[in-house]
């Protein structure tokens, strides 16, 4: 039975005896835990490879499946919210992730591990959204998106750095990568018990049936993303077009993409509305997301190759960089909040600031690489890179929100996720890996008296140099092109009732048409 629910911020899904002061903080912790979750964790990749005897490409693909899973629920999130109660959604998400986490320790078949990772990622976002959507008025009573989005990115992006650091610490001290899975399983068991103890089923409006959800479209677009990621993850292993399997996937990709686009154009309510692709500013926004991912992908290949292959620093030594990355994320989010509250600030200014911080990291790394470089020299560049990426990421999301109305915003987030969540990162990781392989061989045969370590170091430096040149050109173009001269107003978040009315109207239109 639906209960009346109007007025200021409250959390009626809690039982009455739970103190009101701690209610939103519990959901903040739950959201952070959801973001920490996964099946296999990238911070323990070397240990996983050694224990399971899987290739680096297999482990990377399993982890990237979870990243794709996180991106795909966006168009469904409000439909889930209006169909199920908060209690049901959080319990389901926590239980599914717990089961996937436990199964991933015993399953050895790579395709099944990929499926478990995808499912865990899917429900990871569902749980995070359900937590955050219930404290949105607590985060920003004035419903200011410029405050709300950077604040939740402190949780989302901060958890990425925290997850890697925690994984590395737990794996090192217990000498077993599965201890992270056991730790997260224990945390989710506690979360489930707390949900049963503290919350109850509460409906603030009648349930809306799950009609006109394009599940097949979700599967098709997921397949497109996974095929692109697979091509670049396994590209070096199959020597690109020399591998028969690589050529098969390369041929299958345009076919899958054509089927996805054809379905999108033919059905009444597709997973992604075709009108969004025709938005004049959407493609430039996606291009800017791709540029940020290109700049942010260098640490995963170039820096890791240098610190591990040249300086021979271990996992625990470099784990401190994740703390600096976490600090940079928080600083970046706070800077975006400050900019949003200032209102009359251009997007170009804050985006240029974020991109400049990303570029400074590349420049500092180019001039700092040497056989005697201390770890401390990486602290500030790492902080700047994380700060710049966060500023760029959060500001571009705000810009996307200002351009596209709210019902289509979550579809637009999925489209930007095609760029952000794995595809471009995998693409440039593959390109950087190919660049390293080519230049290491070239440096060894040029007649210069390099040994292998020197050849690797010089090749890494050449990679950073190329990125620096490209970054300078892009920064100059950003300074020339104004995204928006003056931000005249700040869009507010629509109420939950306004969103439900829009979805109900769309559903009635569908029923009449059928």
- List pLDDT tens digits, range 284-304: 888 888 888 888 888 888 888
Reduced to 3 states (helix: H, G, I; strand: E, B; else coil), residue 492 is strand
**Tokens of residue 434, six digits:** 């190919």
Under DSSP, the state recorded for 483 is S
DSSP string for residues in 272-308: S-HHHHT-TTHHHHHHHHHHHHHHHTHIIIIIHHIII
d(CA 128, CA 39): 16
Question: Per CATH, is 276-507 categorized as 3.30.160.340?
Answer: no
- State pLDDT tens for residues 149-201: 888 888 888 888 888 888 888 888 888 888 989 999 999 999 999 999 998 88
Q: Give 93-149 pLDDT, tens digit per residue.
A: 999 999 999 998 888 888 999 999 999 999 999 999 889 888 888 887 777 777 888
Q: Which of 289, 286, 427 is CA-nearest to residue 355? A: 289
Which residue in 160, 34, 165 sits closest to 425, CA to CA?
A: 160
Q: What is the mean pLDDT of the chain?
A: 83
Angle ∠(345,346,351) on CA atoms, nearest 5: 115
Phi, psi values for residue 161, rounded to 5°: -70, -40
CATH number at 18-210? 1.20.1250.20
């Amino acid at each position: 039975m639906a209960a009346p629910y109007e007025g200021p911020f409250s959390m009626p899904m809690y039982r009455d005896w739970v103190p009101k002061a701690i209610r939103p903080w519990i959901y903040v912790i739950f959201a952070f835990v959801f973001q920490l979750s996964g099946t296999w964790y990238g911070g323990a990749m070397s240990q996983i490879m050694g224990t399971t005897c899987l290739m680096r490409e297999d482990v990377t693909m399993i982890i990237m499946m979870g990243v794709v899973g996180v991106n795909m629920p966006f168009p469904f999130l409000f439909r889930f919210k209006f169909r199920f109660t908060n209690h049901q959604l959080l319990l389901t998400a926590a239980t599914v992730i717990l089961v996937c986490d436990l199964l991933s320790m015993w399953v050895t078949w790579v395709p099944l591990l990929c499926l478990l990772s995808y499912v865990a990622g899917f429900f990871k976002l569902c749980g995070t959204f359900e937590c955050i959507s219930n404290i949105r008025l607590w985060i920003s009573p004035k419903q200011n998106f410029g405050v709300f989005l950077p604040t939740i990115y402190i949780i989302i992006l901060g958890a990425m750095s925290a997850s890697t650091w925690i994984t590395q610490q737990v794996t090192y001290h217990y000498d077993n990568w599965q201890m992270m899975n056991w730790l997260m399983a224990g945390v989710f068991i506690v979360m489930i018990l707390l949900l049963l103890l503290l919350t109850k089923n509460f409906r603030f409006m009648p349930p809306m049936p799950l009609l006109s959800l394009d599940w097949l479209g979700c599967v098709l677009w997921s397949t497109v993303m996974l095929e692109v990621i697979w091509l670049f993850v396994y590209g070096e292993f199959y020597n690109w077009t020399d591998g028969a399997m690589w050529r098969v996937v390369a041929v299958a990709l345009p076919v899958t993409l054509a089927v996805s686009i054809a379905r999108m154009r033919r059905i009444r309510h597709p997973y992604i509305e075709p009108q969004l692709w025709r938005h004049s500013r959407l493609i430039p926004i996606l291009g800017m997301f791709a540029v940020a991912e290109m700049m942010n992908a260098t640490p995963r290949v170039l820096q890791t190759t240098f610190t591990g292959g040249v300086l021979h620093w271990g996992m625990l030594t470099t784990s401190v960089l994740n703390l600096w990355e976490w600090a940079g994320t928080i600083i970046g989010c706070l800077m975006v909040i400050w900019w949003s509250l200032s209102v009359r600030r251009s997007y170009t200014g804050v985006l240029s600031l974020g991109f400049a911080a990303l570029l400074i990291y590349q420049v500092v790394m180019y001039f700092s690489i040497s056989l005697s470089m201390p770890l401390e020299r990486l602290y500030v560049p790492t902080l700047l890179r994380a700060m710049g990426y966060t500023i760029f990421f959060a500001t571009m999301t705000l810009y996307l929100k200002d351009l596209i109305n709210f019902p289509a915003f979550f579809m637009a987030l999925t489209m930007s996720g095609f760029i952000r969540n794995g595809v471009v990162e995998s693409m440039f990781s593959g390109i950087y890996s190919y660049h390293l392989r080519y230049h290491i061989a070239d440096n060894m045969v040029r007649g210069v008296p390099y040994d292998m370590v020197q050849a690797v170091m010089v090749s890494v430096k050449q990679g950073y140099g190329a990125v620096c040149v490209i970054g300078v050109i892009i920064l100059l173009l950003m300074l020339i092109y104004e995204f928006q001269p003056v931000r005249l107003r700040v869009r507010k978040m629509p109420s939950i009732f306004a969103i439900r009315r829009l979805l109900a109207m769309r559903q009635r239109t569908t029923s009449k048409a059928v």
